[in-house]
Amino acid sequence: MNITILTLFPDMFRGPFDTSIIKRAIVKGAVTITYVDIRDFATDKHKSVDEHPYGGGAGMILRVDIVARAIDYAKNLHPKEKTYSILMDPQGKQFVQPMAKHLAATVEHLILLCGHYEGVDERIRTLVDEELSIGDYVLTCGELPAMVVVDAVVRLLPGVLKKEGVTANESFEEHLLEYPQYTKPDMFNGNAVPEVLRSGDHKRIKTWQTQQAIIKTKMRRPDLIKT
């Protein structure tokens, strides 16, 4: 997969993406990540990308003409690949695990546009395929949500994680939280590892894991059960 990130702050991604699973995926060739500075498409000497909103209001708004040029540039980086463009914006649809799986399985070139300042010119929304949010709160920039999307998608690409099938029983698969897990020591502060997990009876273990996933989801995220 190729990922292109349109951003005003490319350096924000260097640290997080130069470590851990993302770095491993890059080294393996499972993903390439390109950063495009939106300011490169400004036309004035100050590299201005924003303006005061018409009608008044606080803050500055990203200009549609500059962003449009950046998006066109990004799309031409991999013109023969299946491209999908996303604006990271608090007004967007909430990003959930099935979306990460869909993007990982179907998209060859993912373009992420990071919103900033007070917002974006409304016409920018017509230039992308989708708008996504990572939650009902407002951040200072779209770079952090973009990092979340990249991490969630890249770890699902073939060959990125060491063990095949490691993501199959994670939280939010089948609309359930993941079942409780334990490791050594068997006893800690009077709290023992459940006997069934040490029984070696794989059928009993599977039944227990399913039951516990349902119980945990009902207690912590009943909204998922309704879904």
Predicted confidence (pLDDT) per residue in 70-81, tens digit: 999 999 999 999
Q: How far apart are the first and last CA of the chain?
A: 30
When computed from its CA atoms, the radius of gyration of the chain, rounded to whole angstroms, is 22
Question: What are the residues whose beta carbons fall under 8 Å from the beta carbon of 53, sequence distance 6 or more?
Answer: 59, 60, 61, 118
User: Do both 173 and 73 map to the same domain?
Assistant: no
User: Do both 80 and 35 map to the same domain?
Assistant: yes
Which pLDDT tens digit goes with each residue over 74-126? Answer: 999 999 999 999 999 999 999 999 999 999 999 999 999 999 877 899 999 99
% of the chain beyond a pLDDT of 90: 85
User: What's the domain count of the chain?
Assistant: 2
User: Do both 68 and 34 map to the same domain?
Assistant: yes
Count the neighbouring beta carbons within 10 Å of the beta carbon of residue 20. Answer: 11
The last residue of one of the domains, among 102, 119, 154, is: 154
User: Do both 45 and 149 map to the same domain?
Assistant: yes
Task: Measure the CA–CA gap between 65 and 51, rounded to whole angstroms.
Answer: 12
**CATH number, domain with residue 220:** 1.10.1270.20
The last residue of one of the domains, among 130, 154, 178, is: 154
Tokens 């009876």 identify what position? 201
Which pLDDT tens digit goes with each residue over 3-32? Answer: 999 999 999 998 999 988 999 999 999 999
Q: If you average pLDDT over residues 207-226, what whole number do you get?
A: 92
User: Do both 49 and 86 map to the same domain?
Assistant: yes
Enclosing domain of residue 198? 169-227
User: Do both 78 and 128 map to the same domain?
Assistant: yes
pTM above 0.95, yes or no: no
Name residue 83's beta-bridge partners.
109
Confidence check: pLDDT of 165 > 60:
no
Tell whether 164 is covered by a domain. no
User: Do both 141 and 87 map to the same domain?
Assistant: yes
The last residue of one of the domains, among 154, 183, 211, is: 154
User: Do both 17 and 116 map to the same domain?
Assistant: yes
Beta strand pairing call for 187-188 and 191-192: antiparallel
User: Which pLDDT belongs to residue 220?
Assistant: 94
Task: Measure the CA–CA gap between 161 and 141, rounded to whole angstroms.
Answer: 29
Respond yes or no on whether the N-terminal peptide bond of residue 98 is cis (omega within 30° of 0). no
Tell whether 38 is covered by a domain. yes
Tell whether 163 is covered by a domain. no
For the chain, the farthest-separated pair of C-alpha atoms sits apart, in whole angstroms, at 71
User: Do both 186 and 149 map to the same domain?
Assistant: no
Tell whether 33 is covered by a domain. yes
Q: Pseudo-torsion of CA 202, 208, 213, 215, nearest 10°?
A: 180
**CATH number, domain with residue 119:** 3.40.1280.10
